[in-house]
Structure 1
Amino acid sequence: MSAPPKLSSTAPASGASVRVPRVHAIARAWSELGETVAPLSNGAGRPLARTVKLILEPLVIRPVQNPHLAAASLTEDAARELTARITAAGADLAAAGEWFGVLKRARRALGITEGNPQERYFQRCFELARTEGRPTPGAPASEAIANETVQEIAQADGESVLARMRELLVDEEASAALGERLLSAWSQRTAGSETAIDSARVGAVLDACGARDATRDFAALLAERAGTSAAADLTGPGAARLLGLTEHETLAPPRLGATASKRELPLPFDRSIYERLFAALSGGVPADIGLDVEVIVTEEIARSAAAWELEAEHSRVVMVLGAEASHSLAPAELLRPTNAHRLLRDRWDREAYVRRVRRLPAGATGVPENIESDIRTVRQGYLRRLWVRLHGRELRGQVTDAAELWDTLDGILRSVIMDQRHRLKTALGRDLEGAA
């Protein structure tokens, strides 16, 4: 393995404390474990990116419980503590690497090819290391555990369902029939009505968020089909694009599709039928969704032609409420008077990086351009993430009611912020590593 980096490469300025790039502290701790963790290491002897993401961060360092270990640069004391935590987990990490080899052999024997083995197995390998100790390659007990684990993960992560779905969608006869069903559903599409929405009732529900029960007003919006009525506005030129749900001026039927990539998923309304299902099911298939992939695809075709491209009225109502509440995230907007507006604005304004981007002109903030753009257009990102959350809940048969409304609206913003913080920390970490 390559020589570990020094904990500090430069002397601090007078009166300043020494700071250690976090990536260097992790690399130094890892190098001390030697060849025992080779299966979890890259060619340079450092932990693989997935080792850091899936094992070290959530299971060893635990930055949520240890926020002093979460910064891109650490104090010397924090760097020593981080090193100690990784060193103390050395035996478990070595065993996890051995389990990874056993699980990969079981995967090959079972003929499973879908998905990245590191993504699928790293965390389970660490769990097996903690509960079973080191495996014995070739021993019946270890092989049985590996076979059972690989089969369980394959069932849980949706490999089999998505693979059969792809087979259906590439079959010429089946895809032709499904294509006709898709065009028929869109030809009969009723995206909404011109019925006026009771804005006072919408305001009452949002004002109750985080404060009091809004069951009665929420139920009234459902009864009035406010979500369906509001979808009429999405049919206007550029309306859905303004909300960040599509890149196109007008809505059009999706493709059936048969491929998808998590890194290159289009905006929600631009996704193929397969991409919509892939995004929702690749992380795990609920036990009660059923195994008839033709039924799943057919239901998704119907959903794509419905108002807001969502099946349930409660989901559509939540989209209306989210669209209204998220106005508070746009800096040029006057703050609406409801509690939801105030609470979302307060959470967003508490972020120092947000205040910096708002205060300085574009390109002068020191924030990477893609993240800066996401901050300035956060409302669109918020609504995209809300749609994805509601779509996934529908596939799992979950209802978002009045009791869960505020947790959902607030949780989406927390998710947006955590994602941006992580991207900023990653970018800052790269800068520190390059400067050291």
Structure 2
Amino acid sequence: MTVSSADPGVTLPRGMVIARAWADLGDAVAPLSNASGHPLARTVKLLLDPLVLRPVLNPHLASGAVAAEHADELRAAIVAAGPALAATAAWFQLLKKARRKAGITDGHPQDLYFQHCYELAHRYGHPESTPDAARVASGSIADLHAPADRLTVAELRRFVTDPANRAELTRLLRAVWSVPREQEHVPADAGVTGFLATCATDPDPRLFSSLVARAAGTGGAGELAQPGVARSYGLTDRSRITPPELGDSASKRQLPRPLDRSVFERLFAAFRQVAADDADTVVRAEIHRTAQPWQLADEASRVVMVLGREASAGLSGEQATGAGGRLRSRWAREAYVRRVLRMPSAVPGDLLADVHGVRGAYLRRLWVRLHGRELRREPLAAVELWSLLDGVLRSVIMDQRDRLRSALERAVR
């Protein structure tokens, strides 16, 4: 890609420059790409930014808009890293195979393995040229999932079930929920619509920062106090949000909806993402989080919930443009969605309800993603928000598609 640098004032969306450079790498990096052939959000976050583009050393390549005179430099850096990225993608496939063989289900493979695979690529080269690649992959999985010197679920359970701790934590839970909170619903900030209009192609960091500074997320949470609203968003099964229990047990197969979970269940559901703190710090922070707007601690997270609420409205049939229109279009293109809506009698009731309740599924998963980011202390940047919003819908689609496929396969046995 050649871009004229005659006008030093010309800038290009960074995501567009990266996507065009990524396309030059071809199918070898498909495991690191999304359905559109662009690099996954985690590929950018975990590989391209810290290991290839290195924005700390190259700040001119870090912002959401890249000056035209630097576009070729960015592209050249990605193309030069192509062989290493291809090897990284191949190692990632091997590690996932070893993970399945070991019966491991905890943690997100991309989060856990991307950077390690990049290290393997530099140490061994492509796995095709490594005679014992399968052994290296199995050893990596064993090392990566070895118990670390950090908080465990067993320690967390012992902490919350200790009688002295439990009494104090119960008092704290009662206290934080007894503090009066502003319940007035503030209509959607005009900036929310403005940000969603362009976030997929040209995200505006200043507008996102302005929404955070104006507490647009907190204002948008006010409606959750109204009967039935949080339930309509799929965040609770109750008519009104109630204070959570402290809890001392959890099962991933039977987790309640996000705002119905006990403190213990919330931490258990995202335990791999909990920062390496002691049980006291983790539990107290979670108790305080439960009493905040959207039951999230950071205003940036709350703003994203409002963005998701507005963008997902199109999934339930409302008119939508910008980010909402893109989500609606992706959903409407899914063959299984058309099949379910065309032949509802051939689909199990729970799956039919899933398709009709996609907005609730979307907002539930968005909340879970944001909660996990807070537990990892991972900041939110405007340039990655479209990848987050779009990735949540992709994840919902994949889950629903897999459940429908399994149900149909059982029906014909």
TM-score by length of 2: 0.66
Matched, 1:391 2:383: no
Find the aligned partners of 1:430 and 1:390 in 2 and give their Cα distance: 35
Moved more, 351-360 or 227-236: 351-360
Match of 2:225 in 1: 235
5+ residue gaps, structure 1, are 1-61, 66-91, 101-116, 136-144
Find the aligned partners of 1:185 and 1:155 in 2 and give their Cα distance: 34
Matched, 1:345 2:324: no
Find the aligned partners of 2:180 and 2:376 in 1 and give their Cα distance: 24
Match of 1:256 in 2: 246
Work out whether residues 325 and 341 of structure 1, in 8 Å CA contact, stay in contact via their aligned partners in 2: yes
Q: CA deviation at 1:356?
A: 2.9
Find the aligned partners of 1:194 and 1:133 in 2 and give their Cα distance: 58
Q: CA deviation at 1:160?
A: 4.8
Match of 1:376 in 2: 356
Q: CA deviation at 1:429?
A: 2.9
Of 145, 163, 168, the match for 2:154 = 163
Of 248, 265, 278, the match for 1:292 = 278
Letter in 2 for 1:119: I
Work out whether residues 189 and 305 of structure 1, in 8 Å CA contact, stay in contact via their aligned partners in 2: no
Work out whether residues 189 and 216 of structure 2, in 8 Å CA contact, stay in contact via their aligned partners in 1: no
Find the aligned partners of 1:232 and 1:134 in 2 and give their Cα distance: 54
Find the aligned partners of 1:171 and 1:397 in 2 and give their Cα distance: 27
Match of 1:21 in 2: none
The percentage of counterpart residues that share the same residue type is 44
Matched, 1:224 2:214: yes
Match of 2:294 in 1: 308
Work out whether residues 215 and 403 of structure 1, in 8 Å CA contact, stay in contact via their aligned partners in 2: yes
Correspondence list, 1:2-401, <5 A: 118-119=103-104, 131=132, 153-155=145-147, 160-190=151-181, 192=182, 194=184, 196-197=186-187, 199-281=189-271, 284-285=272-273, 289-331=275-317, 333=318, 335-336=319-320, 338-360=321-343, 362=344, 364=345, 366-401=346-381
**Secondary structure of the structure 1 residue equivalent to 2:221:** helix
Residues 82-125 of structure 1 show CA distances to partners (whole Å, capped at 9, x for unaligned) of xxxxxxxxxx9xxx89xx8xxxxxxxxxxxxxxxx73369x99x
Match of 1:50 in 2: none
Find the aligned partners of 2:189 and 2:340 in 1 and give their Cα distance: 32
5+ residue gaps, structure 2, are 1-30, 35-93, 114-119, 121-129
Moved more, 418-427 or 297-306: 418-427
Q: What is the CA RMSD across the aligned residues, in angstroms?
A: 3.4
Number of corresponding residues: 302
Letter in 2 for 1:155: P
Find the aligned partners of 2:105 and 2:347 in 1 and give their Cα distance: 33
Per the alignment, do residues 154 and 164 of structure 1 end up closer, same or farther by CA in structure 2, a change over 3 Å counting? farther
Find the aligned partners of 1:373 and 1:120 in 2 and give their Cα distance: 27
Letter in 1 for 2:314: S
Per the alignment, do residues 368 and 120 of structure 1 end up closer, same or farther by CA in structure 2, a change over 3 Å counting? closer
Find the aligned partners of 1:328 and 1:149 in 2 and give their Cα distance: 41
Work out whether residues 296 and 302 of structure 2, in 8 Å CA contact, stay in contact via their aligned partners in 1: yes
Letter in 2 for 1:348: W
Work out whether residues 186 and 219 of structure 2, in 8 Å CA contact, stay in contact via their aligned partners in 1: yes
Per the alignment, do residues 411 and 149 of structure 1 end up closer, same or farther by CA in structure 2, a change over 3 Å counting? closer
Work out whether residues 169 and 258 of structure 1, in 8 Å CA contact, stay in contact via their aligned partners in 2: yes
Match of 1:415 in 2: 395
Q: CA deviation at 1:210?
A: 1.4
Work out whether residues 193 and 228 of structure 1, in 8 Å CA contact, stay in contact via their aligned partners in 2: no
Find the aligned partners of 2:241 and 2:324 in 1 and give their Cα distance: 29
Per the alignment, do residues 159 and 422 of structure 1 end up closer, same or farther by CA in structure 2, a change over 3 Å counting? farther
Q: CA deviation at 1:243?
A: 0.8
Find the aligned partners of 1:130 and 1:235 in 2 and give their Cα distance: 61
Work out whether residues 161 and 291 of structure 1, in 8 Å CA contact, stay in contact via their aligned partners in 2: no
Residues 387-412 of structure 1 show CA distances to partners (whole Å, capped at 9, x for unaligned) of 00000000001122211111111111
Q: CA deviation at 1:151?
A: 7.4
Work out whether residues 197 and 226 of structure 1, in 8 Å CA contact, stay in contact via their aligned partners in 2: no
Residues 197-248 of structure 1 show CA distances to partners (whole Å, capped at 9, x for unaligned) of 4542111011012121322221221111011111111011111111111111
Find the aligned partners of 1:429 and 1:196 in 2 and give their Cα distance: 47
Per the alignment, do residues 130 and 381 of structure 1 end up closer, same or farther by CA in structure 2, a change over 3 Å counting? farther
Residues 333-367 of structure 1 show CA distances to partners (whole Å, capped at 9, x for unaligned) of 2x13x31121011100001221233345x4x2x22
Per the alignment, do residues 130 and 429 of structure 1 end up closer, same or farther by CA in structure 2, a change over 3 Å counting? farther
